[in-house]
Structure 1
Amino acid sequence: MKKPDWNEKQIERLLNQMPLVKDKQTADEIYQSIQFKIQSRKKKKNWIAPSIATAAALFLIAILTPLILEQGAKEQKTAMDLSNSEKAKIETAVQDDGQTSEQTISNDKNEDVDHQLNQVLMEDQKETFVTKASEAEDIITVGFTNDQAELILPVSLELNDKKKKIEVIEEIKPEIYSDELGPISFELSGAEIDEEANNEEVNIDYHKNVQISGSSEETLFLNSVIETFRWDNYKKANLYTNDKQGIELSNYGVKNEVEMQKELKKAYFLYQYSEETQKLLVPSPNSYDSIEQAIDAMKTGLDHELKPTIVNHIIIKNIFEDGEQLEVEFEAGSKFEDNQEFVIMLESILLSAKEFGFKTVYFKGIDINHIGVMDVAHPIEVPFSPNPIEEH
């Protein structure tokens, strides 16, 4: 059979169809390698053999070298393309990850702000019968008296403007609070009030004849003055009638001043004029010798107007005084709930503790962590004052 004639293009095509050959040798190295292999073969010594071998080698070199160089260039380009592609992917991934991280951080921050806002809103919605010590600058507490002129009803007004507390007290009209509290009166109505330069004394000038008969009414009158100013830092109220020093009282004679006592050692009871009016935490008319006696009184109440504030099925196991902290331990197994009844109980104890000079109260034996706005798992700071309502 006649052998086919191969031209250069056919040989090149055939070589292109062969498997990819990767060779890092230079053309000279390839040439030397071929020469070495040819010379190492045992062939007949023929004058034409070296010429043929040389020609074949040169022919292969001529064909393979461009292909090898081209293939190397392609591989280098592919590697560079892949490198650039991978680099771009990595940069994109890093950028995306950075953006994702920033977005995640932003989302986390937003969620945290939302959570804090929700906590504040939840606390605002929860019921409380006291004002916090931190709110003292924005609160003025006044001592109203009930319709029978028997009880002092302390009420804390939230200031809505930049008026001084003294100015607010001067302008109070008790009748505008009757829908919320029932019929009440205010012993300082119509009085001119100013503050001494030392900010520790107030002057109360009544531009009317103060006619009070009987020791109970006189005591109630003086207690109303004390209840209005003792929550702040006043130490004394100087009394005047129509610019003249003193107020005429039947049993006391002329009363020139009233000393302020911040700690009156009172128990706190629940008062509510009717089902339509607010519940108030009201101090007892009399004082007690100890905080234990005050809390015992709060278990039973005093009469139909001053009702008990201690939940009837809750047993107080122990009351312990630790410096400025009062520890109240409830009997193990006591079931507590986050509702108004338990808020009233704990906040009345806090108010009474303040009356005896305690700064914090630590409740032990409570099976939940929060009641109302209180974190009962930790010691609680005593309040500033009782019964917050908005100023009208």
Structure 2
Amino acid sequence: MTKHYRWNDDNIKEMLMELPEMKDTRSRDEVWQSIHLHKKKKRKQWIVPTVAALASLFFIISFVQNRDQNQDTALQFDEASLLEESSAKEEALDMAPFSSGKDLNTVIDEEPLVIYNNQQQIVTIGFLEKNRNVIVPISFIGNDVEPIENQMQGFLNDFNGEVYGFQPSIFQSMEIESVNDTVTLEIDEEDSSHLPKDRTTFQELMRETFRWKNFDKIKLYTNNEPGIELSSGKLFEIEIDKLLKKAYFLLPLNERSFLVPTKKSYQSVDEAFHAMRNGDGQVNDSLIPTILQPFLIEKVEKDGNLLTVSFKNEENYVDEKRVTIMIEAMLMTAKEFGFEYVEFKGLEDLMIQKYDLRNPIEVPYSPNPLYVYN
């Protein structure tokens, strides 16, 4: 039989006095970030109040409030004001989540944005974002055994893209076959209504899926007949260019942020970097420029497969997370122009855990790795 204890004021006071002293050495920003991330997780909590528990809680609160006001408190900051500040910031972001005025200083993201390892096993699929007509390439770890079409279907069966704000993948209603350097896609006419009707969007979606492998051409069929009907007429084949000369911006969505290539191609990598720092009126205004304002690009030099970018850090900016986003966006952009390594001069003193900025850095294989667990 369970023994019931009767609590009184003296019992509780003695227990409180025996608790070890606690001090919070975090900065104001660290406390705010901790509160913000805790709210973001949205974990379910089951609370079963009882009369005794509520009475004890009321006494503890009263006891703490009546303690000596001159004693140093355990927390050095007013968390109520921080919560109010957090709510105000989130409300502002909810009201205008993708305004063109956003920059990297509004983004805190722990997820990896590029992938390097096991290059032969990586498979990438382009997804169309629901509301902004932006194509997001998503990468996952595949294998060297199955054909790419089997791996794509397996991933799509397990992946819930709507969680991130993606439209259902058009590849789920297609039959895919790959032979050597050619991919064949076939769709039933009744399913073709789900395809993007804009020719450019459809072609970009295909290229962002198959250009990462050694494919040169896509052949399209409907009900065993050549061609797929789009708003501008039938499309029969798509040539796959590996180097599309895009710039990489950041797209924040429901659960995380993604690096996305622009629809627009640029004449040079210098021009692409300029757009990534200063913005571009022809780029979707949902996208955030990825080169931080404190970093002034003084010179861009090309030497074979090596690109050297010389910076001036005008404000001694040291935020590791946002500098890492900038570095990875520039690496992916350099890859778009055929470079294999990038050297970042002027950043050698920055401590970036993921990269050694004292030496040239290899460009990644593809962007936005996601992991699906069955």
Provide the TM-score with structure 2 as the length reference. Answer: 0.64
Report the RMSD for the aligned CA atoms in angstroms.
2.5
The answer to whether the 8 A contact 1:338-1:372 is kept is no
Q: Specify whether residues 295 and 382 from structure 1 end up closer, same or farther in structure 2 by C-alpha distance, changes over 3 A only.
A: same
- Asked whether the equivalents of residues 149 and 220 of structure 1 are also in contact (C-alpha less than 8 Å), the reply is no
Contact 1:266 1:283 in 2 (8 A): yes
1:249 aligns with 2:230: yes
Q: Is the contact made by 1:175 and 1:183 (CA closer than 8 Å) also made in structure 2? A: no
Contact 1:361 1:380 in 2 (8 A): yes
1:119 maps to none
TM superposition shift of 1:165: 2.2
| C-alpha distance 373-223 of structure 1, shift in aligned 2 (>3 A) | same
The whole-number CA distance in structure 2 between the counterparts of 1:344 and 1:191 is 34
Structure 1 residue aligned with 2:276? 298
2: distance between equivalents of 1:149 and 1:127? 22
- Between Structure 1 and Structure 2, the one with more helix by share is 1
**Counterpart of 1:227 in 2: which secondary structure?**
helix
1:130-149 maps to which residues of 2 (within 5 A)? 130-132=114-116, 134-148=117-131
Would you say the 8 A contact 1:170–1:191 is kept in 2?
no
Could you tell me how far 1:334 is from its partner in structure 2? 5.8
Listed one character per residue, the Cα deviations across residues 281-331 of structure 1 (whole Å, up to 9, x for unaligned) are 000011111111111111133454101101121111111111111110111
Q: Alignment partner of 2:209: what SS?
A: helix
1:152 to 119, 132, 135: 135
Percent of aligned pairs sharing the same letter: 35
Structure 1: gaps spanning 5 or more residues: 1-125
Of 157, 160, 173, which aligns to 1:176? 160
- 2:251 corresponds to: 271
Which residue is equivalent to 2:343? 362
Matches within 5 A, 1:74-153: 128-132=112-116, 134-148=117-131, 150-153=133-136
**1:194 maps to what in 2?**
177
Q: Deviations for 1:236-270, whole angstroms, at most 9, x for unmatched residues?
A: 1111112221112231x321111001100000000
Match of 2:79 in 1: none
Structure-2 change in CA distance of 1:260 and 1:174 (3 Å):
farther
SS in structure 2 opposite 1:345?
helix
Residue of structure 1 aligned with 2:149, choices 150, 166, 170: 166
Conserved? CA contact 1:335–1:367, under 8 Å = no
Q: Is the 8 A contact 1:142 1:228 kept in 2?
A: yes
Q: State the shift of 1:190 in Å.
A: 1.1
* Cα offset, 1:336, TM superposition: 4.8
- The 3-state SS of whatever aligns with 1:310 is coil
TM-score, scaled to structure 1? 0.61
| Residues 226 and 261, structure 1, Cα contact 8 Å, conserved in 2 | yes
In 1, the alpha carbon distance for the partners of 2:313 and 2:322 equals 19
In 2, distance between residues paired with 1:363 and 1:348?
A: 13
Paired residues of 1:369 and 1:375 also in contact (CA < 8 A): no
Deviation at 1:383, TM superposition (A): 0.8
Alpha-carbon contact 1:159-1:391 (below 8 Å) kept: no
CA distance in 2, matches of 1:212, 1:162: 31
Q: CA-to-partner distance for each residue in 1:73-131, whole Å, 9 max, x for gaps?
A: xxxxxxxxxxxxxxxxxxxxxxxxxxxxxxxxxxxxxxxxxxxxxxxxxxxxx853111
* Letter aligned with residue 329 of structure 2: S
Q: Give the secondary-structure state (helix, strand or coil) at the position aligned to 1:287.
A: coil
- Whether 2:354 is the aligned partner of 1:373: answer yes
Q: Which amino acid aligns with 1:257?
A: E
Shift of 1:372: 4.1
| Unaligned ranges ≥5, structure 2 | 1-109
Q: Give the residue type in structure 2 aligned to 1:282.
A: V
Q: Does 1:383 align with 2:364?
A: yes
| 1:390 shift after superposition | 0.7
| Stretch moving more, 135-144 or 302-311 | 302-311
1:288 aligns with 2:266: yes
- Give 1:278 deviation, angstroms: 1.2
Q: Which residue of 2 aligns with 1:320?
A: 301
**Equivalents in 2 of 1:233, 1:162: separation in Å?**
16
Aligned residue pairs, count: 260
Alpha carbons of 1:136 and 1:178: their partners in 2 closer, same or farther (altered >3 Å)?
same
Aligned mates of 1:174, 1:268 — CA distance in 2: 27
Amino acid at match of 2:152: I
- The equivalent of 1:80 in structure 2 is none
SS of aligned partner of 2:150: helix
Q: In structure 2, what residue type is equivalent to 1:178?
A: E
Verify the 8 A CA contact 2:350 2:357 in the aligned structure 1: yes
Name 1:352's counterpart in structure 2: 333
CA distance in 2, matches of 1:372, 1:221: 38
Say whether the 8 Å CA contact 2:148–2:178 is kept in structure 1: no
SS of 2:307's equivalent in the other structure is: strand
